[in-house]
Structure 1
Amino acid sequence: MTKITTCVFDAYGTLFDVNAAARALAGEPGRATFAAVWQQVSADWRTKQLQYSWLRAITGDHCDFWQVTQDGLDWALDRAGIDDPDLRNGLLGLYRRLKPYPEVPALLTTLKTAGLARAILSNGSPGMLEEAVASAGIGALLDDVLSVEDVGVFKPDARVYDLVGARLACTPDQVLFVSANGWDAAAAAAYGFRTLLVNRAGDPVDRLPGRPENVAADLGAVRNILGL
C-alpha cells in the first residue's frame, strides 16, 4: 500500500468547534434568553450553512462561505424568534475566531515532527480561514490552507479535492483526508483519498457511494493510522 505523505483536514467541525461561538455567547452575563436556546440555534445554523452550500454547488449560484454562514445564522435566529442585531454581530464575530478542539495543536506538531505535509481544505473563504488559523495559533504547523474559492464551488465537487494534488504535489492515495462531516469523508473516499471520519457524535455512517476507510471518535486516531 502506498505510504501516506500528506494529511489534509477539513476545518469547520473537524479542527474548529462550530458550536463554540454560540456556547461562548450563551455564557455571557445577561444572555439568559439566548442561553435557553443556544444549542438549537447552533445546530440550525450549522445545518442551514451546509444545506445552502450544497444547493449553491448544485445550482451554480456560488457565493463565498461567509455569506452562506450569515444566511444560515439569520435562518436559525428567525426560527428561534430572535431579532437582536447585537447578538447576531456577536455570534458572527466569534465564528471568525472559533476555538480549535483541544487535541489539534499537539496533533499537528506530531505530524510536523514526523515530516508529513499538513494542510486544511475547506469551504471557508480565505479571510475566514486566515482569522481562524491565526486565532488558534496553528499557522506555523500548517504547510497550506486551501479554500474552495480557488475553484468557485463548494464541496463535495471533485474540483475542490483536485486542489490537494495541484498544491501539495501528491497523489490521492498518498493523502489521509480527515473530516468530521460524513458526506465530506464519503466524497473524499470516492475521490481516492485515504480517509478518516471523525465521528464525535457516534452517528451512523452515511449511505453514499464512498465510504471512509477509518472511523473514530476523535482526531487522536490520526496517530494510530500513521503509526505515530
Structure 2
Amino acid sequence: MSLSPQKPISAYVFDAYGTLFDVHAAVRRHASGMGPEALRLSVIWREKQLEYSWTRALMDRYVDFWSLTEQALDTAFSIVGMENPELRRKLLDAYWKLDCYPEVPTVLKRLKDEGHRLAILSNGSPQMLEAAARAAGIEDLLDEVFSTDILRTYKTRQDVYELVTNQFRIYPETVSFQSSNRWDIAGASAFGFRTVWVNRTGAADEYADLPPAAVLTDLNGLLALG
C-alpha cells in the first residue's frame, strides 16, 4: 500500500524496541547456557515488560522503563522456574546494547540523505535509548530521541505522541510513524499519525477501526512508499 498524503512527510518517527532494536537479542546472546527455556523466558520477559507499562499508565503509578525491564525479567525467571543471579546480570547488561535489525542503519541513512527529520519515540528511558542508538551506530542519524519518561507515563496515552508534534511544530498527518507493535500503531493512528505497521512476525491484525496506512515485513519497504 502506498502512502499518498495530501501533505508531504515532515518526519519519520520510529518506535524503538521491536522496531529498530531486537528485543530478543539479549537472551539469544546467552541462549547456549540457558537450555530449552531460553525462548520462553525471552517471550515472557517482553510480554511482562509491556504489561507492566500499560498497567502503570492506567493506574497513574509511574515507574521508569528500566525498572519495569528488571521486574519483568525477575517475573520471567520465576515463571520458568529459573534462578541464576549471574545470568540475570548478563541479560540486563546485554539489554543496553541490543542488536538493531540488519536493515535499520541503511534505511535510516537513506531517509536522512533525502532530507527527512528522523526520531525515536519510545517507552524506553532516555539512558536506555541513548545507549541502544549508540551501540547500533545510528545516533548521528537521529534528530530527536523522545522518551515517554518526560511525561512519566507510557504509550498509548495520546499526549505521548504529541511530544513529536510539539517539538517539531508539525501536524500529525505529516508524521510517518513506524512500529512493530500493533497496539502502538492503533494509538498513533488515533492521534492522527500516518502509521506503518512493521509486522516482522506475521502477526494477526487487530484494532480494525484504527488501521495502519501500510503494513511491511521490515523497514526496507519504507523506501518504496511515497
- Which aligned runs of 4 or more in structure 1 are off by greater than 3 angstroms? none
**Structure 1 equivalent of residue 100 of structure 2:** 100
% identity of equivalent residues: 44
Q: How does 1:1-228 map to 2 (within 5 A)?
A: 1-27=6-32, 31=33, 34-207=34-207, 209-226=209-226
Q: Report the secondary structure of 2:212's partner residue.
A: coil
- Looking at structure 2, the residues matched to 35 and 107 of structure 1 have their Cα atoms a distance apart, in angstroms, of 35
Matched AA of 1:77: F
Q: Deviations over 1:135-176 (max 9, x none)?
A: 111111110100001111100000100000111221101100
Q: Deviations over 1:68-100 (max 9, x none)?
A: 111111111111111110000100000111000
**Structure 1: 5+ residue stretches without partners:** none
Residues 187, 100 of structure 1: alpha-carbon distance in 2 compared, 3 angstrom cutoff: same
**Structure 2: 5+ residue stretches without partners:** 1-5
**How many pairs align?**
221
Matched AA of 2:14: F
Whose relative contact order is higher, 1 or 2, with alpha carbons under 8 Å and at least 6 apart?
Answer: 2
- Looking at structure 1, the residues matched to 164 and 91 of structure 2 have their Cα atoms a distance apart, in angstroms, of 31
- CA deviation after TM superposition for structure 1 residue 207, in Å: 2.3
- Looking at structure 1, the residues matched to 14 and 223 of structure 2 have their Cα atoms a distance apart, in angstroms, of 14
- Looking at structure 1, the residues matched to 141 and 207 of structure 2 have their Cα atoms a distance apart, in angstroms, of 34
- CA deviation after TM superposition for structure 1 residue 213, in Å: 1.2
- Looking at structure 2, the residues matched to 168 and 72 of structure 1 have their Cα atoms a distance apart, in angstroms, of 33
- Looking at structure 2, the residues matched to 58 and 41 of structure 1 have their Cα atoms a distance apart, in angstroms, of 26
Root-mean-square deviation (CA), in Å?
Answer: 0.9
Q: Report the secondary structure of 2:87's partner residue.
A: helix
- Looking at structure 2, the residues matched to 61 and 15 of structure 1 have their Cα atoms a distance apart, in angstroms, of 28
Whether the aligned pair in 2 keeps the contact of 1:16 and 1:100 (CA below 8 Å) is: yes
Q: Report the secondary structure of 2:30's partner residue.
A: helix
- CA deviation after TM superposition for structure 1 residue 25, in Å: 0.8
- Looking at structure 1, the residues matched to 153 and 67 of structure 2 have their Cα atoms a distance apart, in angstroms, of 14
